[in-house]
Chain A
Amino acid sequence: MPVSGAMDSSALRIGNILVGNRDDAAGLEATVIGPTIRFLVDATIAITGGDLGAILDDEPLDLWEVTSVSANSILKFQGPRDGMRSYIAIGGGVQVPVLMGSRSTYIKGEFGGFKGRALREGDILKAFISPGYRNPESFHLVPDSIRNVYGHDHTIRVILGPQDTAFTPEGISTFLSDEYTISIHSDRMGYRLEGPVISHNNGADIISDATSPGSIQVPGDGAPIILLADRGTTGGYTKIATVISPDLRLLAQALPGDKLRFVSVTPEEARAIVLTEEAAITMIQTKVNSSRNKPFALVVNGKTHNVVSAEGEPMTAEFTSISQKRRIEASVGEFNFEIEIHHGEEDVSA
């Protein structure tokens, strides 16, 4: 079963973090052409990844920031400016069923996500109720190292293997020094590259084995193919190298016609890069969390009651979830409690 999921998974993950969602909440992937969306309710959104010219009610939207959207607002995309895939994270996460542990759409299999297909005009999406992110105060939580300009020339770091020994020394050196162009025969399964032929020692066929995200296959014709999100799980061609995880997003944002150069890194170097990126994302999460912790108050019938501990200390609350039945679970200090909201009986907000 192909892994599928967001091509630029770190962009979606960061978008989710910004709007206060779990890492793995469902969001939208817009490829080159963005959707026009009318919000039927108030919402909190973040646009991350590629710049497809997002505007909200004719005002340009900043990428990598949280934006409050009011009911009847219209989000539109004017066209690609930089990168290829833009991600729309919505507070609460898009409500689609979980299949095999995922909310992603597997288009080829026609299952998963929203009815197993790409979104069409007229579709109505629901989001889970957002735990609440009123008045986003913090801006620029995403560091410049992540919110870079993609451009059209990409340096892609790879770890050689698993079948690097199947290639001639000239083959390896060609792969690591020459420029390759992404051909139009490229999609979520993989990108086919054009460029100097990469030579094998003894043919390109192997006993079929498993593929990894970013595996670079080289079939007999010597033209590399980078395997991506919707790739088949097994393959019978020699694999010269694997793109490191942090650079998969560069590929997700690369268009046909863009140029690639491959640079070899050791597994230790790759691990350091992975850990650095993870630390940067954790930092974003920490900043988001601290801006979400507010002194906790209950407003009942218009009257505000501050929640204080027995010692009179105001307590800050971390919302953990709000269910469809409008029951809030929250933890305040070491206490966990639930508030049930009965619609019509009392106007309770927190």
Chain B
Amino acid sequence: MYNSPKFLNSGDSNFVVELGDRIDVPTNRKVHNLAQWIGQQKMPGVLELIPTYRSLLVSFDPNVTNLETIQEVVLQSDGEYDSPSSPSAVVMIPTLYGGDYGPDIDYVAKNSGMTLDQVIEIHSGTDYMVYMMGFSPGFPYLGGLDSRLATGRLDSPRSSIPAGSVGIADDQTGVYPIASPGGWQLIGRTPVVLFAPETDPPAVINAGDFVRFVPLNSEEEYLEIKEKIETGKFEVNKEQKS
């Protein structure tokens, strides 16, 4: 982490507040704290805040404010965004591991020298931090995969991975909100609809949240949740991060 934030130009209506030069948990948490804190100051002309691994993009209306004004507020606040102003949410993602829903779990287990149960236990046993959103709508960049589970991508990517697929690629784990091609090792799937533009907010998982994969016991449980979702009776469980 830098001793003090760097402010970088990004055109006439945006600038970057850079807090560090590597991907690590404390720097990223501070980015989210800063985003929360700036949001609460309700400075006129601040339009949008986009947190990423180690920096925050601030979007502003140049007719109303400028980089220097916002910069001064941020620099004078030092310390106030060291801790979050409200606790993070842990988003529970019910996941059916293995079988048709996780066709590559056997390979991951073998590659890691573990049993299927061990893979599931380790993968579902961590709260993964959402460093940021990007790549496609609703896609979370998750940190914290246990290194024992790291597995290289498929030699030949699939042309279509179903929406909700949970996978591993090298030392990253993640979940695909919408179908797309990809080379991830698929270990499970969630029936939860992770991105829907007509809902508010449209994404179930947001930057700064934590994600916990909760193992389902059977395909019946999976289909039950799927049906509840389709009839509008399902709500994603979120806890407060302790």
Contacts and interface: CB of A to CB of B under 8 A. Distances in A.
Interface stretch (A177-185, A242-250, A339-347): A242-250
Interface stretch (B9-17, B96-104, B183-191, B219-227): B9-17
Name the prevailing secondary structure of the B interface residues. Answer: loop
Nearest to B198: A99
Contact of B63 (A162, A215, A278): A278
B17 to A, nearest CB: 11
A270 B9 CA distance: 12
A275 interface: yes
A232 interface: yes
Interface residues of B, number: 36
B214 interface: no
Given A112-B197, A207-B22, A267-B67, A245 B50 contact: no
Interface stretch (B74-82, B129-137, B146-154): B129-137
A213 B202 CA distance: 22
A212 B63 contact: no
Contacts of A310: none
B108 interface: no
Contacts of B138: 1
Interface residues of A, number: 35
B137 A1 contact: yes
Contacts of B8: 161-163
B66 interface: yes
Interface string B38-79: 000000000000101111010100110011000000000000
A267 to B, nearest CB: 6
Contacts of B9: 159-162, 242, 267
Nearest to B12: A270
Contacts of B202: 1, 100
A204 to B, nearest CB: 16
| Those 3 A-B pairs whose CB atoms lie nearest each other, nearest first | A242-B11, A234-B134, A210-B57
Interface of A: 1-2, 99-100, 109, 111-112, 159-163, 207-210, 212-215, 232-234, 239, 242-245, 267, 270-271, 273-275, 278
